[in-house]
Amino acid sequence: MSATGTAARRLIRCQDRASLATVLAGDGTPYASLVLYATLPDATPILLLSALAEHTKNLRADPRASLLVDGTAGLADPLTGARATLVGTLEEVPHETAQARYLARHPSAETYVGFGDFRFYALRTVRAHLVAGFGRIHWIEAAHVLDKPPGALVDREADIVAHMNDGHAEAVGLYATQLLGRTGDGWRMTGIDAEGADLRREGEVARLDFATRIDDADAARRELIRLAKEARAKAAA
Q: Which tens digit of pLDDT belongs to each residue from 179-227?
A: 999 999 999 999 999 999 999 999 999 999 999 999 999 999 999 999 9
Map 115-167 to HEC letters.
CCCEEEEEEEEEEEEEECCCCCEEEEEHHHHCCCCCHHHHCCHHHHHHHHHHH
Q: What secondary structure does DSSP assign to 90-122, as a single string?
A: EEEE-HHHHHHHHHHH-GGGGGTTTSTTEEEEE
**Do the beta carbons of residue 98 and residue 40 sit within 8 Å?**
yes
Mean pLDDT along residues 20-29 = 94
Per-residue pLDDT at 1 exceeds 80:
no
Q: Which tens digit of pLDDT belongs to each residue from 100-147?
A: 999 999 999 999 999 999 999 999 999 999 998 777 899 999 999 999
CATH of 151-236, one of 3.20.180.10, 3.40.1390.10, 2.60.40.10, 3.40.50.620: 3.20.180.10
CATH of 3-145, one of 2.102.10.10, 2.30.110.10, 1.20.1440.230, 2.40.160.20: 2.30.110.10
Where do the structural domains in the chain lie, given as residue ranges? 3-145, 151-236
* Percent of all residues in the chain with a pLDDT value above 90, rounded to a whole number: 93
Q: What is the number of H-type helices and E-type strands within the chain?
A: 8, 10
